[in-house]
């Protein structure tokens, strides 16, 4: 299992399809006494660890729940500000669950359009003539593979760095898109894809790709 998610971006940079296939979500729950030995800050309406990594809690992790009750953005379930709540010694000991914050659909739209412009800049700054945009972006935890069709649609797959056979998968997704989204009479071009057959076929293509090319040598 090593394909994380699939994005389809239209030629204007809008996200028209997103599917999370496999989510590794490390969540850590821990009981703290006063004062808290982590530095928390508010970022994008979420409470994030800004300093003090310990016991699997990392910088960038968000507060997911307090005493087993899920938080609501930067507020507790009762509507108090989390930062204020944690300043009060009377509320201790407190059990807080940390984890990587989930991406909201707005954030996904933003990331898709961000990649759209990165793709264009990558081709503009090319030292060689006739370069495409970014085809593969590599980090230590994942690889992003992007395939742009002649009509400008981008298919993006995020996968484990060791996963093989992504190029074939991207072309397969293009085929599925042509067959099940474009041929669907209720689908209007450039709009979000809400076709059941597209979903089903994409899922089975991902399963096949994962079984075929997991952790093979090279990629």
Q: Residue numbers of the site for another protein (CB under 8 A)?
A: 58-60, 111, 114-115, 117-118, 121-142
Residue with Cβ nearer another protein (148 or 201): 148
* Minimal distance, residue 72 CB to another protein, in Å: 23
Residue with Cβ nearer another protein (36 or 118): 118
Residue with Cβ nearer another protein (111 or 182): 111
Burial 97-128 (b: 16+ CB within 10 A, else e): bbbebeeeeeeebebbeebbeebeebeeeeee
Residue with Cβ nearer another protein (1 or 136): 136
* Minimal distance, residue 3 CB to another protein, in Å: 17
As a whole number of Å, the CA-based R_g of the chain is 21
* Minimal distance, residue 68 CB to another protein, in Å: 27
* Minimal distance, residue 174 CB to another protein, in Å: 17
Burial 51-83 (b: 16+ CB within 10 A, else e): eeeeeebeeebbbbbbeeeebeebbbeeeeebe
Peptide bond into 34 cis (omega under 30): no
């Amino acid at each position: 299992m090593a394909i994380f998610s699939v994005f389809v971006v239209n030629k204007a940079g809008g996200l028209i399809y997103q599917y999370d296939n496999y989510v590794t979500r490390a969540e850590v729950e821990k009981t703290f006494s006063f004062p808290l030995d982590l530095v928390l800050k508010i970022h994008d309406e979420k409470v994030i660890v800004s300093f003090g990594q310990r016991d699997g809690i990392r910088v960038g992790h968000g507060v997911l729940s307090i005493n087993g009750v899920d938080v609501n953005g930067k507020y507790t379930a009762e509507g108090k500000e989390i930062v204020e709540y944690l300043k009060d010694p009377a509320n201790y000991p407190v059990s807080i669950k940390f984890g990587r914050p989930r991406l909201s659909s707005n954030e996904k739209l933003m990331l898709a359009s961000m990649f759209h412009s990165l793709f264009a800049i990558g081709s503009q700054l090319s030292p060689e003539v006739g370069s495409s945009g970014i085809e593969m972006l590599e980090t230590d935890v994942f690889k992003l593979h992007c395939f742009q069709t002649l009509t400008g649609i981008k298919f993006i797959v995020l996968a484990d760095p060791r996963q093989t056979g992504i190029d074939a998968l991207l072309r397969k997704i293009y085929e599925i898109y042509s067959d099940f989204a474009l041929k669907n009479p209720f689908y209007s071009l450039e709009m979000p894809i809400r076709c059941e057959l597209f979903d089903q076929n994409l899922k089975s293509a991902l399963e096949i790709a994962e079984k075929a090319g997991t952790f093979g040598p090279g990629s």
